[in-house]
Chains A and B, each alone.
Chain A
């Protein structure tokens, strides 16, 4: 009988997705599986300055990566959250900070206590919610250093991620992979051969004429989905009705200005603009909807909103938000942009690659690719994507802006029922429940819901169990502990200089 085990995996595409997948698979599978990665230097990767979320630190631990060395190599800085500007009203600004908000008491999440204080005493007399987030307090003063927990208290410390140059990160991963465990082949795929009968991919034909055979194929070829779509015609589900932006222009700008330990996302007339601080430059990009603004106008807005001079011309990108109908089809798994695209408003791209690989490892098949595994993978992937999608839609939908046709349309659009239910629950009761293993936890949802001015009618009834004096004491204690802890943190740029060694202080 033939050995049913998978012995050869072929990865197509060498961007962040491809190399991240290669590194994780090589580490997890060891020498029993041979991994081959096909990439072409001719095909550019999308890597611009990239922001991440804290889950990326799990990858680094798993791969045994030295954080300082990696960040030095990838020009990285630290990230405590995302600042969202002008989304709900022009002039608005709030932070979606990672990490805890205050401290829950018993069954009741913290924000209900804060909300009770606001509702009983008014906004003017109550510090805002972010006074209870150490991440927010540190971000406001551009401070950073790792802190596990606030000493002598029940409060958690800073939760952080990175900003870095994603193509340098990919290169770093590539160089760290154990020698021999991933074979890199330079070339362009010109054809995929399918097996008679079940339509599994059998081999790939490269432009050099070389034939690459494999048991399992991972499509990291980007938007076009060379295998998953080009060969297998899997189909794509379009989400533009909810997330209408379809183009981006990206450009680096010269270093200068404060080194913020957070990403900035600022709403524009027909989309939004990111700013990501790296060590050697700042990454910028304008994500917009081509139905509402021309490319020239979009470029002009982008360039007008740089803090320092542009380094070169903006590079255009086109995309369609949505997801592949099946991320795993037959013996082909799509990762990264080949699996779907959601704009980087909450920096989820790299995480979706990471979680796709973990899911694959959990469901690692043999050569038959049992449909029970494939179905389970696709079910979990859909769950993850749809919940991230809903979270992004919230940023657009919960707006009061009527100053441009784009924002008018966003405010008026009908949203998925899953999201409508959540917003309604929050509006009426301030309650948020994380669903299953969805990516963003309650604290993320609460900050964005409140930041986008969805005002709950009331707080949780159990928050009434404290007396007024107890409530004041509880809130004041948390603010004090956070204020003290924040003051012990050094400026972000100094910490980077110390840890990184490459930046003149």
Chain B
């Protein structure tokens, strides 16, 4: 009898997605399973300075990589959230911080009490009630303190990283090769499909080498070498809701200590990111080519750097959307090959990670049960659509009317579930997370408030707390948060102490 197990995995593409997949498979699968990765040095990867969400820690934990090792090897810095400037109105600024807001009382989330207090003029902005949103603008950072009393905001600090994704890929390459992953340099010239069922049987490299496999992971980026070019899976276009289709990326010299947050500033036809690394700062302008020319976009980008640019901006083109099936036959697409959502909330690496986890959960055998594939695709679609809706929220909930781009975003019709969420929040500040969607209640609440969706009312149970007590409650939470931030070190000081990257040969 033939072995029903998958014994032979081929990964096509060696960017962040390819090496994350290789490293995870090498760690989790048994040693008898061969893993090969094909990449070409000629094909550049998209890796610019990259922001993440806190989940990446879990992935690193799975691999047994600790924080310090990771940050040192990737010129990394720490991230408490994203600062959004000029989104709701020109001049607006708010932070979408990771972690919780205040602390919940009984059945109700903190922000319900805050709404009432705020309406009565007895509370600060919502940002005053969580550690991350207070610490970030002040440039403070530390991870959870093991000696903090339970319940203290310092006992559970939620954070992510900024890092150089190219270096992360290189680091993971070392990790994966040490564990038996074989890397082959080369470009794929041809994909051979099995006559009977159209499964991918092998890829042929330009060198003529033929590489057979049972399971293929397509990490070849936007073009989707296997998933699209060979299997013609199709792509579902979201650009009527998320109209940006280009980005210009450039690094600039570091000026001053790194901020412990990503900055996202709305521009006339899109938005600009700023991601601080240890040695330089990553920048990019994501824009809609229907509303602004590349030249003009480059001028805007370069006009808003805080240090001298290091080289020319690089142009990237994309179509926001998702592959109709991320898993088709024996090909699973990860990273950009699986779909693209702009990095406004730093979800790209998260989606790679969750694609890998999902594949491991639903890991197939030789016969590739369609039930596994269907489930994978359903879960993946669910995840994409919910993140998509969260991104659309940033564009749609705006009062800006200063450019045609923002007018279009404000006026567009949005997916009905998002419209319902906005309506419910506007009515009485309520939000209900849908199943396991990625962004939880505090994220939605911060962004809805930050984008000026003002709740008309609040949860009726809030009235159980007497008004005097409510004011005291608000004051005590903001006081605790402020005192905690006082004891946090400066972000740069923390990095200096713990995880300075080794000096590099210039």
Chain B residues positioned under 8 Å from A375 (CB to CB): 420
Name A464's contact: one of B5, B369, B371, B430 (CB within 8 Å).
B5
Tell me whether A458 and B420 are in contact in the complex, defined as CB-CB below 8 angstroms, given that A107-B360, A364-B461, A425-B375 are known contacts: no
Name B463's contact: one of A5, A28, A465 (CB within 8 Å).
A5
- Asked if B295 CB lies within 8 Å of chain A CBs, one says no
Q: Which of A4, A433, A465 has the most CB of B within 10 A?
A: A465
- Asked if B361 CB lies within 8 Å of chain A CBs, one says yes
- Asked if B183 CB lies within 8 Å of chain A CBs, one says no
Flag if B436 contacts A366 (CB, 8 Å). Answer: no
- Asked if A429 CB lies within 8 Å of chain B CBs, one says yes
The contact string, 1 if C-beta is below 8 Å from chain A, for chain B 1-31, is: 0001110000000000000000000001110
Flag if B423 contacts A372 (CB, 8 Å). Answer: yes
Flag if B360 contacts A462 (CB, 8 Å). Answer: yes
A272 to B381, CA, bound (A): 41
Flag if A433 contacts B107 (CB, 8 Å). Answer: no
The contact string, 1 if C-beta is below 8 Å from chain B, for chain A 22-56, is: 00000011101000000000000000000000000
- Asked if B62 CB lies within 8 Å of chain A CBs, one says yes
Name B435's contact: one of A424, A425, A437 (CB within 8 Å).
A437
- Size class of the A contact interface (CB-based, 8 Å): 35 or more
A71 to B375, CA, bound (A): 44
Flag if B4 contacts A458 (CB, 8 Å). Answer: yes
Flag if A29 contacts B461 (CB, 8 Å). Answer: yes
- Asked if A180 CB lies within 8 Å of chain B CBs, one says no
- Asked if B464 CB lies within 8 Å of chain A CBs, one says yes
- Asked if B457 CB lies within 8 Å of chain A CBs, one says yes
Name B427's contact: one of A107, A372, A436 (CB within 8 Å).
A372
The contact string, 1 if C-beta is below 8 Å from chain A, for chain B 334-377, is: 00000000000000000000000100111111000101101100
A178 to chain B, nearest CB (A): 14
Q: Which of B6, B357, B361 has the most CB of A within 10 A?
A: B361
Residues of B within 8 A of A (CB-CB), count: 37
- Asked if A361 CB lies within 8 Å of chain B CBs, one says yes
- Asked if B424 CB lies within 8 Å of chain A CBs, one says yes
Tell me whether A436 and B435 are in contact in the complex, defined as CB-CB below 8 angstroms, given that A362-B107, A461-B364 are known contacts: yes
Name B29's contact: one of A5, A373, A462 (CB within 8 Å).
A462
Chain A residues positioned under 8 Å from B4 (CB to CB): 458
Residue of B nearest to A435 (CB): B435
A421 to B464, CA, bound (A): 46
A293 to B363, CA, bound (A): 47
Residue of A nearest to B379 (CB): A433
A6 to B428, CA, bound (A): 14
Chain A residues positioned under 8 Å from B463 (CB to CB): 5, 32
Name A365's contact: one of B364, B436, B460 (CB within 8 Å).
B460
- Asked if B55 CB lies within 8 Å of chain A CBs, one says no
Flag if B371 contacts A429 (CB, 8 Å). Answer: yes
B393-441 at interface with A (beta carbon < 8 Å)? 420, 423-424, 427-428, 430, 432, 434-436
A269-311 at interface with B (beta carbon < 8 Å)? none
- Asked if A193 CB lies within 8 Å of chain B CBs, one says no
A376 to B363, CA, bound (A): 34
Chain B residues positioned under 8 Å from A462 (CB to CB): 28-29, 360, 363
A366 to B372, CA, bound (A): 45
Flag if A364 contacts B29 (CB, 8 Å). Answer: no
B448 to chain A, nearest CB (A): 14
Flag if A464 contacts B30 (CB, 8 Å). Answer: yes
Chain A residues positioned under 8 Å from B372 (CB to CB): 425, 428-429, 431
Chain A residues positioned under 8 Å from B434 (CB to CB): 436
B425 to chain A, nearest CB (A): 9
Flag if A363 contacts B435 (CB, 8 Å). Answer: no
Flag if B436 contacts A373 (CB, 8 Å). Answer: no
Chain B residues positioned under 8 Å from A372 (CB to CB): 420, 423-424, 427
- Asked if B106 CB lies within 8 Å of chain A CBs, one says yes
Flag if B6 contacts A461 (CB, 8 Å). Answer: yes
Residue of A nearest to B4 (CB): A458
Chain A residues positioned under 8 Å from B106 (CB to CB): 28
Chain B residues positioned under 8 Å from A421 (CB to CB): 371, 374-375
A5 to B463, CA, bound (A): 10
- Asked if B167 CB lies within 8 Å of chain A CBs, one says no
Name B28's contact: one of A107, A364, A376 (CB within 8 Å).
A107
Chain B residues positioned under 8 Å from A205 (CB to CB): none
A359-382 at interface with B (beta carbon < 8 Å)? 361-366, 370, 372-373, 375-376, 380
Chain A residues positioned under 8 Å from B361 (CB to CB): 107, 431, 433
Tell me whether A6 and B460 are in contact in the complex, defined as CB-CB below 8 angstroms, given that A424-B371, A425-B371, A465-B30 are known contacts: yes
- Asked if B182 CB lies within 8 Å of chain A CBs, one says no
The contact string, 1 if C-beta is below 8 Å from chain A, for chain B 460-487, is: 1101100000000000000000000000
A50 to chain B, nearest CB (A): 26
- Asked if A358 CB lies within 8 Å of chain B CBs, one says yes
Tell me whether A29 and B464 are in contact in the complex, defined as CB-CB below 8 angstroms, given that A376-B432, A429-B371 are known contacts: yes
- Asked if B459 CB lies within 8 Å of chain A CBs, one says yes
Tell me whether A461 and B365 are in contact in the complex, defined as CB-CB below 8 angstroms, given that A28-B106, A421-B371 are known contacts: yes
B424 to chain A, nearest CB (A): 4
- Asked if A106 CB lies within 8 Å of chain B CBs, one says yes
Flag if A364 contacts B427 (CB, 8 Å). Answer: no
A405 to B428, CA, bound (A): 54
B156 to chain A, nearest CB (A): 22
A439-465 at interface with B (beta carbon < 8 Å)? 458, 460-462, 464-465
Chain A residues positioned under 8 Å from B365 (CB to CB): 429, 458, 461
A122 to chain B, nearest CB (A): 16
Query: Mind listing 9 A-B residue pairs with CB under 8 Å?
Result: A28-B106, A107-B62, A362-B432, A370-B424, A373-B428, A376-B424, A421-B371, A425-B369, A429-B365
5 tightest CB-CB pairs across the interface, nearest first?
A436-B435, A372-B424, A425-B371, A428-B369, A465-B30
18 further A-B contacts with Cβ under 8 Å, apart from A29-B461, A32-B464, A431-B372, are A4-B457, A28-B106, A32-B463, A107-B357, A107-B360, A364-B460, A373-B428, A373-B430, A375-B420, A376-B420, A380-B432, A421-B375, A428-B371, A429-B369, A436-B435, A460-B363, A461-B5, A461-B364
Give me the interface of B with A, judged by CB distance under 8 Å. Answer: 4-6, 28-30, 62, 106-107, 357, 360-365, 369, 371-372, 374-375, 420, 423-424, 427-428, 430, 432, 434-436, 457, 459-461, 463-464
